[in-house]
Amino acid sequence: MDNYRFILSGGGTGGHIYPAIAIANELKVRFPKAEILFVGAKDRMEMEKVPQAGYEIKGLWISGLQRKLTLKNLIFPIKLISSLMKARNIIAEFKPHMVIGTGGFASGPLLKIASGKGIPCVLQEQNSYAGVTNKMLAQKVEKICVAYDGMDKFFPADKVIKTGNPVRSDLMKVSLDKKTSVEFFGLDVSKPVLLILGGSLGARRINQLVEEKVRFFESLGLQVVWQCGKLYYEEYKKYDSESVKVFDFLNKMNFAYGAADMIISRAGAGSVSELCIVGKPVIFIPSPNVAEDHQTKNAQALISENAAEMVKEKELNTHFEVVFKEIFNSKERQEKFSANIKKLAMPNATKHIVDEIEKLLKN
């Protein structure tokens, strides 16, 4: 039998959405007759990105709890009840053989209902510090696929399997030659390119840094490909020029990575996994505004292997230029970072996750 029905749920940020899409693509390869449905949170980026990838998606009226008392928190119970009811209807209608959650608000209600009905469920946790939704669901699921060692401090040890994080399939083609990639952005092939990534929604502090350092980068003869994020594009598009290319979102990441000589990035789990495969010298600027400062821990895992550099947000004013110049002026350090970060790549993560799904289906 290969006409299985799968529901995938996860979203809010690219870090939850792209792993889910990668898993769906691999399921389609294994089971060409399979039916695949996504469930996301209404008004979040998955409602746009999933249909672009060719899959149907249904939205739940759900959001996270705010850390302070707000009106949104007061209506959270209503949203939760509404989402649980809609999730129950979706499951009754679609009758999935398996439900896969990749984290984010919507996966909570959906996997709670599915596991309660005895439908096998698999979680995929991207970070070194487990998300709230996945921790709540852990007892009820069959398998939890993780990317870091030591995750049994969050989850039942017998359910945890280290697979790595799925990455977008186009990243496997980063071997695009440099010339094609640089020309794709209308840049000069003879000059080095710096790629700046603030995550799928953009990062305010990284954008402020780039604005402050545009002249500094130009003084080094660098060209810049800058993903500033949808929320910030109107503010920063004025910097778009012959040598600085500003984007709200980069749909062709393989070209962006192919063009880059150096990269500045947040240290979300998805970004870290992608950058290991890409194998370019990276300076991480972790977001300090995440649970348990997990981005710093993600970056630290690479720094301990001499595979990248990190500058914390609070040190940007004093340390950034010095650290950047040291790496930019040392071909030896760049080559060392590239070689070491590639060793940490887990390019077969998606296949391993779907292997686990296949085993559960057979049982």
Domain 5-167+347-362 matches domain 170-343 at the CATH topology level: yes
Dig out the tokens for 16 from the structure. Answer: 């939850």
Question: Which residues pair with residue 144 across a beta bridge?
Answer: 123, 160
Superfamily of domain 5-167+347-362: Glycogen Phosphorylase B; (3.40.50.2000)
Dig out the tokens for 311 from the structure. Answer: 């500058």
Measured between alpha carbons, how far is 175 from 166 in angstroms, rounded to an integer?
Answer: 18
Sign of CA dihedral 24, 30, 32, 35: negative
Q: What is the pLDDT of residue 102?
A: 93
* pLDDT one-digit tens code per residue, 99-156: 999 988 788 899 999 999 999 999 999 988 888 889 999 999 999 999 988 899 999 9
* pLDDT one-digit tens code per residue, 140-180: 999 999 998 889 999 999 999 999 999 877 666 555 689 99
299, 286 contact by CB (below 8 A): yes
Which residues, in sequence order, are CB contacts of 251 under 8 Å at separation 6+? none
Give binding residues for UDP-N-acetyl-alpha-D-glucosamine as ranges: 13-15, 127, 168, 200, 295
341, 282 contact by CB (below 8 A): yes
Highest mean pLDDT pick, 40-44, 86-90, 258-262, 266-270: 258-262
Beta strands of 199-286 (E only): which ranges? Answer: 223-227, 244-247, 262-265, 282-284
Q: What is the pLDDT of residue 152?
A: 94
Higher pLDDT, 78 or 347: 347
Q: Which CATH architecture has domain 170-343?
A: 3-Layer(aba) Sandwich (3.40)
Read off the amino acid at residue 321.
E
Give binding residues as ranges: 13-15, 127, 168, 200, 295
pLDDT at residue 65 above 90? no
Please tell me the chain's helix, strand, coil percentages from 3-state DSSP, rounded to the nearest 5: 50, 15, 35
Higher pLDDT, 62 or 245: 245
**Residue-wise over 95-107: b if at least 16 C-beta within 10 A, else e?**
ebbbbbbbbbbbb
Query: Domain residues of the chain, as ranges?
Result: 5-167+347-362, 170-343
Average pLDDT on 32-50 reads: 91
Which class for 228: exposed (0-12), middle (13-18), buried (19 or more C-beta within 10 A)? buried
Q: What is the pLDDT of residue 251?
A: 85
* pLDDT one-digit tens code per residue, 255-298: 999 999 999 999 998 899 999 999 999 999 999 988 778 899 89
Q: With bands split at pLDDT 50, 70 and 90, how would you rate the model's confidence at 56?
A: very high
